[in-house]
Structure 1
Amino acid sequence: MNTARSVFRRAAVAAAAVVTALVLAACGAGSSAAGAPTSTPTTSAPRSAPAGRHDRADVSFAQRMIPHHRQAIAMADLAGERASSSKVKAFARKVRKEQQPEIRTMTTWLKAWGEQVPRGMEGVGHNASAMPGMMSDHQMNRLKGASGSAFDTMFLTMMIKHHQGAIDMAKSEQRHGAYGPAKKLAATIVTTQTAEIAQMRTMLGTGSPTATTR
């Protein structure tokens, strides 16, 4: 009788131990699941979206410089067809190579900021005459009608004025802009186009532009 009771008691203890172990395991699993860090979905910015604060000066800079660059490229295209000097043609190719990527960069900024991208050679909220250095339709038509050495002189004289206008706008961005990449681009424009003005003046054979652009 004692032996049977002893066996029964040992079986009961063993069963209780198994139940306890199962309960503890279940609790432990629940605690781990509850305590595990929950991953929160994050929405990353589009890869093309510019990071950093920008202000209205940055927007205005891009909206004005894009059509300004487009006119410089239009002038450079004419040089490829009408210039007589190989140096002028090479310079025109350089202008196109530099300014096309800058247009794409500024266009990306405006789209990411939800701002209007200018069409053609008109700035957003600005007519061509309001942008420093922009040629009028009359001046562009005169350039289109020229050829040979007369074109070379007219092109260089007009492009010097055009570059000076771009430098003025870039310096304004450096003073008033807030967006780092835009200020950096402005600094590049100042440095590059200042050097190119000196190069064009050398090609003209004068230390300062003397030909009229009227």
Structure 2
Amino acid sequence: MNRPVLPGLALALAATLTAAVAGCSTGSEPQADAGPADVTFAQMMIPHHEQAVEMSDVVLAADGVDPEVAELAEQIKAAQQPEIDQLRSWLDEWDAPEQPHGGHDHGAMDGMMSQDDLTALADADGADASRLFLEQMIEHHEGAIAMAETEVSDGTHDGAVAMAEEIIATQQDEIDRMREMLASS
């Protein structure tokens, strides 16, 4: 009584493949909802990035700023404004509020400059403005990296985790560059 097993095996394989294909993503489905770490990351990174853009605007308006510092400030603005827009889009998609943020004394956020820090930057020009911007932005970027590292370890939203990984890489490169600029000035 030898029966061929191929027809039964073929039916079992077909059923398994059908179930697997039904569970596959085609890329058109929305991503899984964000977890608490993702929401917190977006809520905190928006004002953090906004301040980096503000600091860049301040140094770009100063007289006699080192051209390399001005170029870096332009790069920071160009990178961070689209991230702000994406973070806001995600908060909207996740039906999560953007945290209110009056002033710049955010004790819970590493690397944020105080109003006095921003005033000192605005009052500086030339080499002093260049140096102060670099010193402040190093501290600011270190804070962003710390927040991004938390997102990488605790986040669940693929896009937010990928952004955090990009922030870590990009801002660490900029920190290294800023330290070199300070050392050569």
**Could you say which TM-score interval applies, normalised by the shorter chain?**
0.7 to 0.9
Preserved contact between residue 70 and residue 121 of structure 1 (Cα < 8 Å): no
TM superposition outliers: structure 1 runs of 4+ over 2 Å: 118-123
Deviations 1:74-131 (A, max 9, x none): 00001111152000000000000000000000000001111112455669xxx61210
Report the RMSD for the aligned CA atoms in angstroms.
Answer: 2.0
Q: Distance in 1 between matches of 2:182 and 2:39?
A: 35
CA distance in 2, matches of 1:187, 1:90: 23
Partner of 1:197: 175
Check the 8 A contact 1:170/1:186 in 2, yes or no. yes
Q: Distance in 1 between matches of 2:92 and 2:157?
A: 15
**Which residue is equivalent to 1:100?**
81
CA distance in 2 between partners of 1:59 and 1:122 (Å): 21
TM-score w.r.t. length of structure 1: 0.69
> CA–CA distance in 2 between the matches of 1:110 and 1:74?
22
Provide the residue aligned with 2:143 in structure 1: 165
Aligned residue for 1:133? Answer: 111
Aligned partner of 2:58 in structure 1 is 78
C-alpha distance 121-69 of structure 1, shift in aligned 2 (>3 A): farther
TM-score by length of 2: 0.79
Ranges in structure 1 where 5+ consecutive residues have no aligned partner:
1-46, 207-214
Higher relative contact order (CA 8 A, sep 6+): 2
Q: Is the 8 A contact 1:84 1:152 kept in 2?
A: yes
Q: Give the structure 2 partner of residue 30 of structure 1.
A: none
Separation in 2, partners of 1:88, 1:150: 12
Q: 2:41 aligns with which of 61, 86, 90?
A: 61
- Note the C-alpha offset of 1:153: 0.5
Cα displacement string for residues 145-166 of structure 1 (whole angstroms, at most 9, x for unaligned residues):
1111011111000000000000
Contact persistence 2:46–2:87 (CA under 8 A) = yes
Larger Rg: 1
